[in-house]
Amino acid sequence: MKYDLSKKPTRGAQRTLTAFCGTMLKLLSEKSFEKISVNEICEISNFPRATFYNYFDDKYDLLNYCWYVIAQEIQVDQAPEAVSNKSLIIYFDRLYDVFKSHAQLLNNILQYNDFSGQLGNSFINYFKNKMQEIFTTSIDYSKLGLPVELVADHCSETVILVLKWIFLKHQVADKTLAHEYLKKLFDLDELL
């Protein structure tokens, strides 16, 4: 992304980013990602193409920004104070809440977009990578005797697998049942 997200955006920049993100999510609820054009995004957002390209390289870049905005609700910057093996559950619960709060949006997007395609892969990979980053630094792996990256990858894959099952395949499960799924998919007692 061309815009530096590490610095606090000005009000104008925030308004522009919000408009482009809102437009992309709205359009995804109405048509497939492949049929959305930068011209259309700019028209609906009421910004010229030049402004779009000041912030984003292309519509894929904007799509990643949309996932970034949704991921901010996971509160990565509000990590537990110390490395804790309870981090897996903390972040699973945060991600569960994000998926639940955006369930209607996801359902609308799924009406027009095949989640086994490019859009779905973008969404799943973004959140899987975010979980890998978190699990690499927030869980104590010393007693497992395995490489940190391998276990972090396993944990993130399992978390995403459970969330996909519940929210994208429309299986009813509250957090308690979701925790049971996690425990049965891998022995959390080993980590917790």
- Residues 100 and 158 reside in one and the same domain: yes
Is residue 164 in some structural domain?
yes
- Residues 173 and 98 reside in one and the same domain: yes
Q: Residue type for 65, please?
A: Y
What pLDDT score was predicted for residue 85?
61
Q: End of a domain among 69, 86, 113?
A: 69
| Residue 77, pLDDT above cutoff 70 | no
Express each pLDDT in 52-62 by its tens digit. Answer: 999 999 999 99
Q: Which of 177, 159, 174, 1 is closest to 87 using CA atoms?
A: 159
- 38 vs 11, 35, 49, 76, CA distance in Å? 23, 10, 7, 30
- Residues 111 and 176 reside in one and the same domain: yes
- Residues 89 and 125 reside in one and the same domain: yes
Please tell me the total count of domains within the chain: 2
Is residue 5 in some structural domain?
no
Is residue 2 in some structural domain?
no
Structural domain including 154 reads: 75-191
In 10 A of CB 36, how many CB atoms? Answer: 21
Query: Are 81 and 74 within 8 A, CB to CB?
Result: no
- Residues 121 and 178 reside in one and the same domain: yes
- Residues 92 and 146 reside in one and the same domain: yes
- Residues 153 and 114 reside in one and the same domain: yes
Instruction: Give the N- to C-terminal CA distance of the chain in Å, as an integer.
Output: 37
Express each pLDDT in 164-189 by its tens digit. Answer: 999 888 899 999 999 999 988 876 55
Query: Are 69 and 105 within 8 A, CB to CB?
Result: no
What pLDDT score was predicted for residue 82?
47
- Residues 119 and 171 reside in one and the same domain: yes
